[in-house]
Amino acid sequence: MSTLADLAAPRADYTFAFLDEHAKREVRRSLLKAVCIPGYQVPYASREVPMARGWGTGGLQVTLSVIGERDTLKVTDQGADDSVNAVNIRRFVARMTGVVTTTDTLEATLIQSRHRIPEERLREGQILILQVPLPDPFSYLEPSRSKARELHADSDYALLWLRLYEDLTRRGEVMTGADHPVSVHGHYVMAPSPIPRFDVPKLHQAPHLTLLSAGREKKLYAVPPYTDVQPLAFTDVPFQIERQEGWVCAQSGVSGGFMTELPLPGGGARYVLSDTGLLDKLVRARRGEAVTVGETYTELGPEASP
Amino acid sequence: MPELLSVPVPTPAERRNQATFQALLRSLSTPGRPVRVEGDPWFGVALALLDLDVSFATTDKVLAAEYQSTGARQVSWDQADYLFAQQWDRALLGDLKVLRIGSPLAPAESATLLLPAELGGSGPAFEFSGPGVNGHLKVHISGVPDEFWTLRARACRFPLGWDVLLLDQGAGLVMGLPRTTRVAGLEAR
C-alpha cells in the first residue's frame, strides 16, 4: 500500500512556473478554445501573480501556462529587452522555470511582448504572447460589456467604423495610433494590443501563433498561424502605417525598421531602432562580430553612417 | 524577492501535462499535421484537460473511472465539455448530433471531442484549408466514417461548432480539427 509520502510531490518552495497545476489547466483549456475561435475573447479566471494588474499579468499567466523546461524565452517591452517590465518578467519566469532566456528573436521559442512585434520574421512553431491592457475594441465606445458582447455576436462593428469615419471628417486621417482594430478570419474584430500600426500587417497570414491575454480584464484570445488579419480601413482610404520616412537609426545607421524618437535638448530628435534585440545584433555586426540577422518584415534601408 | 536556493522542478505529472498541452496547442493551431504525444493519449490528454471545473462523457467504462479520479463530473453527451469516444459505432454517430456547439454570446462554451483515427498512413485523402493551414494541405486519415464529416459540416457554423482532436493510440499522435478547418474529400472513399 502506498503511503501519503509516496503520493505527495517532494517539498518545494514554489511550483514549476509558479502557477499551480489547477490554475494552469484552466488557462490551457481557455487557450485551446481561443485558438479554435480566432479573435474571440475567451474569459478566464486570471489568478494572482506577484505583479500588479496592468503590468503584463495576462501575458505572464499565458507564458507560465505554456512554458516547458526546453523552451527559450524572450521578453520585450516596447521592443526593448532591457526595460524594467521586460527585465522583471524575464527574471521571474527564469527563476520559476530555469529556462534559457535570450534577446535574440531567432533563438526564442516563446516571445512575451508588450506593444511590439519583433522586426525579424517569426517562423512556424514560435509563439508570440502579447500583453493586452484593453482586449475589447469597443472599450471606449460601448460602456456596457454585455452590449459589447452582443455586438461581437452579431458581428456588428458599426461603432468602430463610425469612429474611423469621425477621425477622417474631423482630422483628415485615422487617429488610432496604436491598437488599430483588426478583423480576424473575417468575423470577430479584435484589439491587436497597443502595437503600432507598423506592426499590424505582420499578423496577416503569419506563420507563428499569436496569443493575447489581458490579466486585469480576464480575457484571452488568439490568432492561429496562417489566419487572415485585416486592419479596419475604408476602400477609398487605405490603411496607413506611421510615417517615419527618412528616419535613420543613430546607433546602427539603418532605416526602415520601427524607430523610437528621442527628443534632443534644444529641439530636434534622434531615432533608434525600437527592437533592441535586432539593434544589438546590427551594432555587433558593424563591429565585425559574427551574428545572424534574420530576414526582417520590412526591408531595412541602406546603412548610412550613424 | 529573495534569491531561491534552487529552481523549481516540475513533478512527473506536471512535466507530462505541460508537454501534452503544448502538443494539443500545436495540433489545434496547425490542423492536419499530426503531433506526437508521449504515452497513451487516451490517458495523457484527459489528465492534461480534466479537473473539477469541467465535465466529460465517455463510451469506455474503464477509462470513465480514471477520468472521474481527476474530479471531473461524468455527464450526458449533450452537456459534456470533453467527450472521449474510444470506438466508432452507430450510437456514437447519433450522439454527435446533440453535442454543445456554444451560443452566439458564448461560442467557447462548446464541446471538445476526442475521437480515434489512424493518422499519417495512406488512408483516404482530404484537403484541409482555413486558419492554421498554409493554403491547402493534403491529409490522410483512416478509420473515420464518412458520416462524421457530414455531421461535422452540419454542426460547425463559425463561430459555433465543436472542436475535434483525433487520437492515434498506436502511433502516439494527435491531430487537431478546430471548427474553422474546411475539409474536402479528395477521392471516393
All 3 cell numbers of residue B120?
Answer: 499519417
State whether residue A197 is helix, strand or coil.
helix
The answer to whether the CB of A265 falls within 8 A of the CB of A241 is no
Between CA B170 and CA B40 the distance in angstroms is 9
The answer to whether the CB of B126 falls within 8 A of the CB of B134 is no
A305: pLDDT strictly greater than 60: no
Closest-approach residue (CA) in chain A for B82: A29
Closest-approach residue (CA) in chain B for A30: B108
pLDDT tens-digit series, residues A159-206: 999 999 999 999 998 888 899 999 999 999 999 999 999 999 999 999
All 3 cell numbers of residue A49?
Answer: 501573480
Q: Do A65 and B134 touch (CB under 8 A)?
A: no
Q: Is A226 on the interface with B (CB under 8 A)?
A: yes
Segment B151-176 mean pLDDT: 96
- Predicted local confidence at residue A12, as pLDDT: 83
Q: Where are the alpha helices (DSSP H) in chain B?
A: 12-29, 41-49, 61-68, 90-95, 146-155
CB contacts < 8 A, A to B, total: 135
CB atoms closer than 10 angstroms to residue A4:
6
Closest-approach residue (CA) in chain A for B176: A36
State the smallest CA–CA distance between residue B88 and chain A in angstroms.
Answer: 24
Between CA A229 and CA A200 the distance in angstroms is 8
State the smallest CA–CA distance between residue A287 and chain B in angstroms.
Answer: 36
- Predicted local confidence at residue B4, as pLDDT: 61
Q: Do B14 and A185 touch (CB under 8 A)?
A: no
Sort out which chain A residues have CB atoms less than 8 A from B136's CB and list them. Answer: none
**Nearest to residue A141, comparing CAs of A118, A123, A164, A125?**
A164
- Predicted local confidence at residue A301, as pLDDT: 81
Between CA B178 and CA B175 the distance in angstroms is 10
Segment B9-23 mean pLDDT: 96
What residues of B are in the A interface, CB distance below 8 Å? Answer: 1, 4-11, 13-15, 17-19, 21-22, 24-26, 28-30, 48-49, 51, 53-54, 104-105, 107-108, 110, 112, 131-135, 158-159, 163, 178-180
Between CA B21 and CA A25 the distance in angstroms is 9
Q: Which CATH class is domain A21-136+183-230?
A: alpha beta
End-to-end CA distance of chain B: 62
The answer to whether the CB of B128 falls within 8 A of the CB of B31 is yes
Average pLDDT value for chain A: 94
Q: Is A204 on the interface with B (CB under 8 A)?
A: no
- Predicted local confidence at residue A39, as pLDDT: 97
Sort out which chain B residues have CB atoms less than 8 A from A47's CB and list them. Answer: none
Sort out which chain A residues have CB atoms less than 8 A from B49's CB and list them. Answer: 25, 28-29
Q: Do B17 and A29 touch (CB under 8 A)?
A: no
Sort out which chain B residues have CB atoms less than 8 A from A185's CB and list them. Answer: 131, 158, 180
- Predicted local confidence at residue B189, as pLDDT: 45
A2: pLDDT strictly greater than 90: no
What crossing angle do the helices spanning A84-97 and A57-66 adopt, rounded to 10°? 30
The answer to whether the CB of B160 falls within 8 A of the CB of B103 is yes
The residue ranges of every structural domain in chain A are: 21-136+183-230, 245-306
Between CA A108 and CA A294 the distance in angstroms is 12
Taken in order of first residue, the domains within chain B and their CATH numbers are 12-184 (3.40.50.11310)
The answer to whether the CB of B168 falls within 8 A of the CB of B119 is yes
Sort out which chain B residues have CB atoms less than 8 A from A123's CB and list them. Answer: none
B51: pLDDT strictly greater than 60: yes
State the smallest CA–CA distance between residue A98 and chain B in angstroms.
Answer: 6
What ipTM was reported for this prediction? 0.96
Segment A195-218 mean pLDDT: 97
Q: Is A97 on the interface with B (CB under 8 A)?
A: yes
Unique residue bearing C-alpha cell 534577446: A103
Sort out which chain B residues have CB atoms less than 8 A from A30's CB and list them. Answer: 108
